Structure 1
Amino acid sequence: MQIQDLPYADPGVPDARSGPRFLWWLFRNQLDGQAKALAWGLLHFLSVSALPFCVGAAVQAVVDRSGSRLALAGGLLALCGAGTALGETFLHRAAVTNWITAAARVQQVLARKTAQLGSALTRRVAAGEVVSVSTGDVEKIGWFVEAVSRFTAAATTIVLVCAGLVVYQPALGVIVAVGLPVLALSVLPLLPNATRRADFQREKAGRATELASDTVAGLRVLRGIGGEELFLDRYRRASQEVRHAAVRSARMWALISAIQVLLPGLLLIAVIWYGFQLARGGQVSVGELVTVYSSIMILSYPLRHFEEIAMAYSFSRPSARRAARVLSLERATETGGTRAGSEVPSGDLYDPATGLLAPAGRFTAVVCGDPDAAGRLAERLGGHPSEEGPSVLLGGVPLDELALAHARTAVLVQDKDPVLLSGTLRELFDVPRSGSVEARRALAAAQCEDVLAALLQGAVGAGDAMDALITERGRSLSGGQRQRLALARSLVADPDVLVLDEPTSAVDSHTEARIAQGLRDLRAGRTTVVFTSSPLLLDRADRVVLVHEGAVAAAGVHRELVHAEPRYRAVVARETDEEAARTEDSATDGAQRGRTAFGTSPVRAADLAGDGGLTEEDDVLKELQEIEESA
């Protein structure tokens, strides 16, 4: 796999049972790249390690005054130099390719898992952890996968050189062959402590990052309540904790590096002293002593890869563990789908768990006293159940039986806190769509005129509003403006079934009334489900459903339910239990007085208003006013 061939057509199914298993899975999927890196690494390290033998041969040739052997040694030196340059060049190329392709594979499987889990992901794993895994952790995992082949080449070279020294000069070669493995393994007792310190540093850094993100996201609110300095002080303390942890971790790695320098130096001193004694006795020639001395100096280079692989593994192990934790998450339902064919069903949307029915082509409003339960129900309707249960049916077809892509084509869910990505407004609306709804119609239905004006005001020059830039998460806009842009984006997609969870909770009542009408007009003939407790939206719905304690408790139209159903009225009018009791008593007294004055038929506001009476909006407001007065 080459970098230009990315992304992978199929990154594969990861082994997410543990961090080491995940790393092994990555390594197995890169055997070709690892083999290339190993081959080039062996060429490079063996060429470097052969230099001492060539130098020793050249020195001995000078001592013996042999011109032919000196020329041969010079030719071998030139050949080793070419091998070193060629091996280093292509080893670096292969190593970087392995690093990038491993990181790309991890990012692809993470992106695929995120798409499968949808909004359920952030309820099971912190959003900051997902970001950390897909950025910093990916780099550390790629580093270890790439370092394995270079470490293998370095270790193989050390074994071969030690064997060669034993054959070349047994008296000194045995000392080197025994001493080098001791040097390589000398840092092992320090690695657990170094790993713990590194893990502690990452934990503190993650906490500081999370605190910084929360502070930046809520900066406007913090300034309004005077809490900015409090949170900044908390971040300063967290930052200092990160610094102290980083210093402690760096001290341990500095000690390991110092040992890697000190011990080879002691070995070199011992070999030189012993070799000098042997040379005085005529047991070792000058060339052989130079060869052994140079070999020890050269072998300190591949020895450094033992320290690198230890660092790479200690940093990548917790990163791989976090990645495996995210990748091991599964949806409560099958994502591949069992129904053959690619045709998306149409018809009524029905949830067997609650009994909620959204007729095809109608505007259905759902009232639920528990906002969290409403959010879970909205996700169920979109095919994202948070726990095991019967599947939602679309046209009689369980969404579980559809492939995930087909289910999402049929049903689009907009949660109560939609995300706006940075970029232009045109890019924001670059979503899969039917093509039937233009962006400007969707913006008009969502009442985004002031949003467009605000975006153009901050832009340089007077251009097209669709080219205006939106900052990260739309932080330059108010909550209501962000909410309306997200609604317009959902309307542009024009799905067969659109599920909206509190789409106007941050909008004023006058704008909300216009949005309600625009939503009804634009979605005419399409299935729309809105979770809300706003009378302005409820009054525009074709059908209103009250969900109480996980089941449908009542269904009808808003004006009927607000008078006939106390539980519905308590949610819509925000009544307490005592207020609801007083309202019911007052309604009973009023009905009795109406029977006295007008026979057996109760008095209705519409009857008293006459033919040219109240508008629909005024009628709704009057109903709420009557409820408040009776309470």
Structure 2
Amino acid sequence: MRPLPYDDPGTPDLRSPVRFMAWTARLQWRTVLGGVCCAIVWMLCLAMMPAAISRGTDDGIRGHDMGALVLWSLTLIVLAAVAAGAGVLRHRFAVLNWLQAAFRCMQLVGEHATDSGEALPRAMPTGQVVASAATDATRFAESYDAFARFVGAIVAYLVVAIILLRSSLPLGLVVLLGVPVLLTALAAVIKPLQRRQQAQREQSGRLSELGADTVTGLRVLRGIGGEHTFRRRYAEQSERVRLEGVRVATPQSTLDSAQVLLPGIFMLVVTWLGARSVHSGAITPGELVAFYGYSTFLVMPLSTATEMTGKFLATRVAAGRIIKVLQIPGDHTGEVPTAHLPDGPQELVDPSTGAVFAPGLLTAVVCDVPAQASALADRLGRFGQGGTDVTFGSVGLADVAVREARSRVVVSEVDPRLFAGTLLDQLDPAGRSTSDQIAAALDAADAHDVLLALEDGLQSQVEERGRSFSGGQRQRLALVRALLTRAETLVLVEPTSAVDAHTEARIAARLAAARRGRTTVVMAASPLLLDQADRVLLLQDGGIVAEGTHADLSRTSPAYRRVVLRGEEDIDEPAHA
């Protein structure tokens, strides 16, 4: 079995849903072909059983030939055994095809969401992206599950049609002409079903989006008393989804009923014509038994054909939604790197603000407008729309590949995320850190108490978004994760905003020691952090207006004091004699 996830899920064909489906099938053609071969053998064995029963009836029972009866009985047993074995293999291939197609779509959406960054949520609701990865990917794979049975059903249908034509031309013509008529009748039900399924998908995506946005801002909603409004909106959207589900249920129930009724009518017609043929002497009693068997057997290929039709349409709808996600370009899509960053520590310069970050120093940036500091951090890490004029040594970050730039300059944003999984996976996703290195990072972030409170330590399970931790605990764990990158240049945005003063003092001192000799940039206005910085830059009105140590700026810059002391009166400069 192919290991998952894929090393490379491939470059999808996004020109149309059908092309995307064909591209996926080509990548797993071996398992698709294996499933088709097993399905053909399985169906043919089932199709030949009525013929074996027919020959056993005519040659063995009516002909009073015990040898013929034993022969055809053994033939029937062999057909049943081969059908059972092929059926097991067919099912295994079907599940494997489903898993491969579904996981490939999930991986494509997940990697595209990672690569595109903020561009994806700007263009599409988060809930719709989640729905594409979770729901649409599994629905997309349904056709790959049923395709092998569909091919086997076609082959079996043709073989049965030939047998019936050779036995009785009228019965053969009924089979050949009746099946297309049945499928045409089913198509009239399938078209409105497809339209209503699309509408239901859209409403479900909006509901997921609303739920995701509500959970994200739940604390703010409670603070302003807005949870009742969002509860009402969620209930209204849930009702819309329910109504769309009811609208889908009508053609779906009609289709399900037709899958039983129409093959049943078909079986009655074949049986009636077969009985008349026996009465007239056109066929033997054994052949009549075969016609009864084929009348029952043909329900399976007919049902499989209608099932495949419905799943194909559902797959096409799901593929269209997945393509919409994958077609959204990232902020840096299409950029062609023309250079590589120089080796070793380098000076980091942001010409937009005039900020210069010397290699090997802890530099703090103080700003009275937090959004400007965050924008500076985004430029240093090549985040957001547009390019950046930041230089690393003599090379512009915009001239190198995004992956290379972010491997040398790591940014830990103001609201770092924790995901579901073990705590160890959260702190060291790449698994490159030793236990001593993890312990040192936990100590630097003053996060040992978080670890001691967990029963299973680093193997404890973290809930989605780290909901089991407080804001301060999440922030300290995120700082541990940032330190474990051992980045050549590390940019931290408000790394201690959610902790108390005593904890912040310990973190400030330990952070400076842990990062000594490596370039560190901290966006903060905390005196405890600023006092540990080698250099402090004051950012105002989009430019650096002052720089120095925390002590120097506190003594000489009223603007700096207003930001750092947060409303306290300016300190009078010492009088000169």
Question: The residue matched to 1:366 in structure 2 has which SS?
Answer: strand
How many Å apart are 1:409 and its aligned residue?
A: 2.8
Query: Is it true that 1:481 corresponds to 2:473 in the alignment?
Result: yes
Q: Name the residue aligned to 1:330.
A: 330
CA distance in 2 between partners of 1:421 and 1:166 (Å):
63
Pairs aligned (count): 573
Q: Residue 415 of structure 2 aligns with which residue?
A: 417
Q: 2:32 aligns with which of 10, 13, 34?
A: 34
Structure 1 position 434, deviation (Å): 7.5
Output the CA distance in 2 between the equivalents of 1:397 and 1:311: 56
1:502 aligns with 2:501: no
CA apart distance, 1:347: 0.1
Give per-residue Cα distances to partners, 1:219-278, cap 9 Å, x unaligned. Answer: 566666665565545444444443343333233222101112111222222233333344
TM-score when normalising by structure 2: 0.85
Name the residue aligned to 2:241: 242
CA distance in 2, matches of 1:435, 1:343: 28
User: Matches of 1:235 and 1:491 in 2, distance apart?
Assistant: 40
After TM superposition, list the pairs within 5 Å mapping 1:326-365 onto structure 2.
326-328=325-327, 329-332=329-332, 339=339, 344-352=343-351, 354-365=353-364
Q: Which amino acid aligns with 2:445?
A: A
How far did residue 89 of structure 1 move? 1.4
Give the whole-Å Cα distance in 1 for the aligned partners of 2:576 and 2:497.
31
Structure 1, 534-543 or 241-250: larger mean CA deviation:
534-543
Equivalents in 2 of 1:512, 1:609: separation in Å? 36
What's the CA shift for 1:440?
Answer: 4.1
Deviation at 1:298, TM superposition (A): 0.4
The partner residue of 2:574 within 591, 607, 622 is 607
Contact 1:437 1:492 in 2 (8 A): no
**Structure 1 pair 73–181 and aligned structure 2 pair: CA distance change class (3 A):** farther
Partner residue in 1 for 2:101: 102
In angstroms, what is the RMSD of aligned CA positions? 3.7
Shift of 1:305: 1.7
Q: Distance in 2 between matches of 1:522 and 1:264?
A: 75
Q: Taking structure 1 as reference, are residues 138 and 264 closer, same or farther at Cα in structure 2, changes over 3 Å only? A: same
Equivalent in the alignment of 2:57:
59
Give unmatched runs, 5+ long, in structure 1: 588-603, 611-631
- Alpha carbons of 1:481 and 1:79: their partners in 2 closer, same or farther (altered >3 Å)? closer
Aligned residue number for residue 150 of structure 1: 149
Structure 2 vs 1, CA of residues 447 and 163 (structure 1 numbering), >3 Å: closer, same or farther? same
**2:543 corresponds to which residue?**
552
Give the distance between the partners of 2:207 and 2:424, measured in 1 at CA: 35
Q: Is 2:531 the counterpart of 1:531? A: no
Matched with 1:77 is 76
Equivalence for 1:179:
178
Which whole-Å CA distance do the structure 2 matches of 1:505 and 1:323 have between them? 38
- Matches of 1:184 and 1:69 in 2, distance apart? 40
**Distance (Å, rounded) in 2 between the aligned partners of 1:434 and 1:271:** 72
Larger Rg: 1
Instruction: Note closer, same or farther for the CA distance 1:541–1:391 as it changes in structure 2 (3 Å cut).
Output: same
Contact 2:44 2:155 in 1 (8 A): no
Query: After superposition, where does 1:215-614 map in structure 2 within 5 Å?
Result: 215-216=214-215, 231-328=230-327, 329-332=329-332, 339=339, 344-352=343-351, 354-367=353-366, 371-372=370-371, 374-387=373-386, 389-390=387-388, 392-400=390-398, 402-423=400-421, 425-431=423-429, 438-448=437-447, 451-452=449-450, 456-457=452-453, 459-460=454-455, 466=458, 470-508=462-500, 511-534=503-526, 536-538=528-530, 540-545=532-537, 551-557=542-548, 605=572, 607=574
The 3 A distance-change label for structure 1 pair 212 and 63 is same
State the SS of the aligned residue for 1:503: coil
Contact 2:424 2:458 in 1 (8 A): yes
8 Å Cα contact 2:417-2:465 kept in structure 1 = yes
What's 1:13 paired with?
11
Amino acid at match of 1:242: V
- Normalising by structure 1, we get a TM-score of 0.79
Structure-to-structure mapping, 1:36-51, within 5 angstroms? 36-51=34-49
DSSP 3-state at the match of 1:77: helix
C-alpha separation in 1, matches of 2:310 and 2:566: 59
- Which deviations, in whole Å up to 9, do the C-alpha atoms of 1:467-525 show, x marking residues without a partner? 66544322233223322221232123221111122323334455445544443343232
- Match of 2:112? 113
Q: What letter corresponds to residue 113 of structure 1 in structure 2?
A: H
Which SS does the other structure have where 2:151 is aligned? helix
Partner of 2:574: helix, strand, or coil?
helix
Shift of 1:608: 5.3
Deviation, 1:332, is 1.2
Distance 2:61 2:412 in 1: 85
SS at match of 1:408: helix
- CA distance in structure 2 between the partners assigned to 1:60 and 1:200 by the alignment: 56
1:186 counterpart SS class: helix
Structure 2 residues not aligned, in runs of 5+: none
Q: Post-superposition shift, 1:427?
A: 4.1
Q: Which whole-Å CA distance do the structure 2 matches of 1:74 and 1:99 have between them?
A: 37
Aligned to 1:191: 190
2:521 is paired with a residue whose SS is strand
Q: For residues 311 and 345 of structure 1, do their structure 2 counterparts lie closer, same or farther at Cα, with a shift above 3 Å needed?
A: farther
Q: What is the CA–CA distance in structure 1 between the aligned matches of 2:344 and 2:251, rounded to whole Å?
A: 61
Distance 1:534 1:326, change over 3 A: farther
SS of aligned partner of 1:187: helix
Q: Deviations over 1:145-189 (max 9, x none)?
A: 232232222223223322332233212111111001222332112
